[in-house]
Chain A
């Protein structure tokens, strides 16, 4: 039950894009077509779902203060390596993205090409790193971090698919020249996050 609550909360109430405004670059850039947006959403779900639990292992068994007590070596047990958090998380994310990239290239070449540069750029997507950092900050357990990873990815996917659909809807709108393209998308994002505010405050 707690896990379901966590999932609902992460997808809707604390949506990683619309409540924290993380991962904006790919959110804005890859939302021109619904198909691309769905693909990127899936990729982000994959990467987040893999990296957050994996980073949990690294954090709990290597980096946290006293994490290496399992080695039984006195000197290691006293170590606090949490200053290496960022470095190791990024490394894990980069590896995972590489794997996802190869899988997409092999099995979904069309999607691979339409995502273009933004697929490798998932590595430095703040939403992905943010997922791992939130996991540390909120001290999730393994199960929680797995659920958190997948559902924050799902939140990202939901947001990017719906903004892609909105952008499709306004494709033929008579938008003032200065606002066409990114400007309008920014305003749409703002309006969307206002609509998502309906969940803010729900206490699960």
Chain B
């Protein structure tokens, strides 16, 4: 540690104004703050003492993501070994196979996104921020394991540049960059990732694009024939509640495991990084939406409307989206009341898109993106209402005061 610090101090003049490598100062600054806590503080008051800086905040999110990542890797390998009918595979085989599939995706995402971020920081002369560690990790987890690597690169480039950097970098973006990237891929290459098919890498294919296709639970539910009992129908296809909650089914890398997302949620809530209001709001919204649909007459509507709430909860990427995507502090609502509205709307929209929109079986991503757009409006109206009520209270109190004086 001491050695590292000395080295950093030694090269510091090079990067300071007037030094040879002045242009690369953000790079030095990133190393410095990444490895150590720098001694400088903001030079103008007000000062708030707190141990929670952007770095700690972002790293906590990455830590909360670890169960999802590990499970995602395991599941990718598991699916691969099942589909290719490889005999005698144990835990370790699944895991190594999964790592071979998943790690390149994560590495490409980090490498391409990180390079672009670095370029922007050097040209725009602002500091490199740990926020990218989260974006670069969230994005691959929303992707299917069969995604071609060039699409990963294109997607993360779009997300980092258009979703974040042109707004001025971390903290200024209006949409969640990882979701922007995912939605961009979704609309740009819909045939590969619409979400109605299972994505499992198949051994013999030359490139990973030709994945094994079968239906995901969401895709199945959307095409269920009229008049069947949806729960039984899914069970027959091999998806009962526990299978889906456990997450050993096909889908995007990080989204299948409901339980892993729960661990992440616990970490985020206990550390106070993720807003419990938003997460609870999402679940309440989902409950309201699915209950409303359940009330509809069974025979006239699609059987999907009859799917009970707890199935919606473990379906697709809902848990992952609600825990990690919706709670992004930059793009979600900032006011407390606004957070409730924001969360509940996400839940409602998710059910609506899932059931009503045949084009997109996985609704949660688009629901969150839509609410990201609406979040400032919600905040605005919540604030206006607050100002109005405070003004009214103040008026009443001053009236009372005047009356008391008389």
User: Contact residues of A with B, CB < 8 Å?
Assistant: 34, 161-162, 165-166, 168-170, 173-176, 179, 184, 187-188, 191-192, 194-204
Contacts and interface: CB of A to CB of B under 8 A. Distances in A.
Nearest to A169: B376
Nearest to A197: B187
Contact of B169 (A170, A174, A188): A174
> Interface SS of chain B: helix, strand, loop or mixed?
helix
Say which size band chain B's interface belongs to. 20 to 34
B184 interface: yes
A199 B354 CA distance: 11
A192 B349 CA distance: 16
Contacts of B255: none
Contacts, number: 88
A10 to B, nearest CB: 16
B168 A174 contact: yes
A173 B376 contact: no
Given A165-B379, A188-B174, A179 B360 contact: no
B377 A162 contact: yes
Looking at A198, A199, A204, the one whose CB has the most chain B CB atoms below 10 A away is A198
Contacts of B187: 194, 197
B337 interface: no
Nearest to B367: A198
Task: Among A169, A187, A200, find the residue whose CB has the most chain B CB atoms closer than 10 A.
Answer: A169
Contact of A34 (B167, B168, B367, B380): B380
Contacts of A195: 175, 183, 366, 369-370, 372-373
11 contacts: A162-B373, A166-B174, A170-B167, A170-B172, A175-B168, A184-B166, A191-B175, A194-B369, A195-B369, A196-B370, A198-B357
Interface string B141-176: 000000000000000000000110011110010110
Contacts of B167: 170, 173, 175, 184
Q: Which of A174, A179, A187, A194 has the most CB of B within 10 A?
A: A194
B284 interface: no
B162 A165 contact: no
B374 A174 contact: no
A193 to B, nearest CB: 10
Closest 6 CB pairs of A and B: A201-B359, A198-B366, A174-B168, A165-B376, A173-B172, A173-B168
B360 A201 contact: yes
A161 B163 CA distance: 21
Given A187-B162, A198-B349, A166 B180 contact: no
Nearest to A162: B377
Nearest to B162: A187
A96 to B, nearest CB: 28
Given A34-B380, A169-B174, A174 B126 contact: yes
A202 B370 CA distance: 15
Contacts of A161: 377
B373 A168 contact: no
